A = this chain, B = another copy of it.
């Protein structure tokens, strides 16, 4: 299933790259403007050929570095020029944790496509966005289904990671909502009462949480003089 979706996503990248190239070539919207500038060869040609470079760049709303560095080819960068990087990959080995990330990524992704949809009136681009929105709908559903299956098969459960022995966590605070703001408005939510979502506890609301753990004396060890941080009282210069 992972292989199927990975392959499909690579296909989406190709679709986007093709769309970018087509738009740079001769988008219906730009054709007229380009003609006015006596340009040929699409937006890039217009940018290159115009006597008035600045207005050409601005008409095309184009990042000039793109043409200069890539010659107009697709670049694996975001719209501010930040390169794609492996920090975007989340792969912890725990499938429930990672599937939840997938649901998240598809959510942000579909949201951004929906916003982009409203930024253009180009019918061809909207067609492609319409396709991508539908596939993101499927993918949100698919990862949620995979999560159900993981739970049904008894391999993972809430809370992630479910194979850590839950008796080793401090059970007294595992299902308490602690109020740390003025008022107790947060008392109203589903998170403050009723059975917990993992079915293993009961939500409880703590309006005024008390400090826990041993009383700790102020951190006030004798200053290590050879680090030359500022001491609380005058000391003699020293070195090791």
Contacts and interface: CB of A to CB of B under 8 A. Distances in A.
B119 A47 contact: yes
A90 B72 CA distance: 13
B82 A160 contact: no
Contacts of A82: 81
Interface string A210-236: 001100100101101111111111111
A18 B196 CA distance: 31
A161 B111 contact: yes
A94 interface: yes
A26 to B, nearest CB: 8
A112 B225 contact: no
A41 B92 contact: no
A138 B176 contact: yes
**Assembly stoichiometry (copies):** 6
B141 A68 contact: no
Interface string A130-153: 110111111011101110111011
Interface residues of A, number: 153
B137 A159 contact: yes
Given A53-B119, A133-B169, 9 more contacts: A44-B224, A47-B119, A48-B224, A54-B59, A71-B227, A83-B85, A93-B228, A100-B107, A145-B190
A123 interface: no
A39 to B, nearest CB: 10
Contact of A231 (B89, B130, B163, B224): B163
A71 B84 contact: no
A52 to B, nearest CB: 8
Contacts of A80: 63, 65, 80-81
A239 to B, nearest CB: 5
Contact of A158 (B144, B161, B170): B144
Interface string A86-120: 11011111111100110110011011101111111
A202 to B, nearest CB: 11
Contact of A186 (B4, B21, B91, B117): B4
B54 A76 contact: no
B18 A219 contact: yes
A150 B51 CA distance: 33
